[in-house]
Amino acid sequence: MRAEEVVSEPEDPIAAVTQADPYPYYRRLREAQPLYFDDRLDLWVASSAGIVTTILQHAAGCVRPVTQPVPPALAKTEIGPIYGSLIRMTDGDYQRQMKGVVVAALAQIDYPTLQSTVAEAVALLDLPNQGDLPTVLRATQYRLPAYVVARLLGIETGLCCDIAALVGQFVGAVAAGVSDERIDHGCAATRHLLAMFDAACVVQATGRPNLLVALLHRSTKAGLTPANAMANAIGLLMQTFDAAAGLIGNGFLALARLQDVTSETAWPAFIEEVLRCDAPVQNTRRVIAQEIGIGGQVLKAEDTVLLVLAAANRDPTLNTDPDAFRLDRPDRRIMTFGAGHHVCPGQLIAKTIAAAALRTLWPIWRGRPEVQQVANHVTYRSLPNARVPEFAT
């Protein structure tokens, strides 16, 4: 839907994700019914910071139903074993072990290496010269994050330029309710990605930490398999895809509408405030493993809870003056990356990519009439949890 349209109250919190401004609706939810059962969605909805945090950190909150670790449509495909090995999609001892492997491997990438990889990607993709502003933004949203993560994984430069398309096909295949054709495309993309990883293990770039090799090495030491490591390499690409696209897009809109940035030192705070104020990941889900009482309600085993992270970010108990966009916000607290044992391990990568992208593009386009034209005609991708702007020509 277009940002300039006057829209009615969204039907539910999932429909709100693509609204021009879902935040007044989220505020009403948070204030009137911070935890309620939505008959339309057939799940619980949590929107206050306290309840969202409690469920994210509760041992009974699982990311998948215990009896269905992999969606039935994917179970017998090439994607099934990948999905079932992702730390984002699993719980229990395996998840804790593999999460430790991923965190330790990511820790080997120092900040200067990350910055140089992002700078290399910006230069090689020639982002400022991709065409008109919407085309430039689309290339920046999708091609840049995929390129950076692929290079960190050790994939050769010549293969990185097209990797966003493969990741997009994989992400599209694991979405709920997709067609068999999209799943087939995702399976083909999986084969291509695994072949790239095999090559990256053989050819390690001189002087550059190879994240894939680190994942494989640490997985073996932890008693896990190479297949687990390969799956979570795909997972890093997958988790970056929509989230980074949303962060870059929402950041550009914040620059156009809310807050110019002229000081180099202000970019980290700007990115943090975008993450809080217009979160690229608006909600996530948990399946309750055993009956628990919370917020005056009883959640039973196998109940699903939609955790509205974007509403929790603007809870005044978490951040004072929550609806204001403030670079100087004291003690900023953000729910966007989750909490508990499923907190996102790739925060630094996502924030560094987004800051570099906007630092590159904004000085070129600042003050030009195309900026407001694009901002006034933005739509949002039809996604249930990610808020990703689409910029029309």
What domains does the chain contain, in order, with CATH numbers?
A: 13-390 (1.10.630.10)
**Residue 35 pairs with which residues in a beta bridge?**
46
Alpha-carbon span 237 to 215, nearest angstrom: 14
Token pair listed for 103: 């965190």
Integer Rg of the chain from CA? 20
Give the count of alpha carbons within 13 A of 167, CB side only.
28
Alpha-carbon span 388 to 222, nearest angstrom: 36
Pick from 91, 98, 99: nearest CA to 59: 91
- Give the pLDDT score at 203: 58
* Contacts (Cβ under 8 Å, ≥6 apart) of 253: 278, 375, 378, 389
Low-confidence ranges of the chain (pLDDT < 70): 1-7, 202-209
Query: Is residue 342 within 8 Å of residue 56, measured between CB atoms?
Result: yes
Query: Is residue 267 within 8 Å of residue 355, measured between CB atoms?
Result: yes
Alpha-carbon span 340 to 90, nearest angstrom: 14
- Give the pLDDT score at 148: 96
**CA dihedral angle for residue 176, residue 179, residue 184, residue 188, rounded to 10 degrees:** -60
- Give the pLDDT score at 262: 77
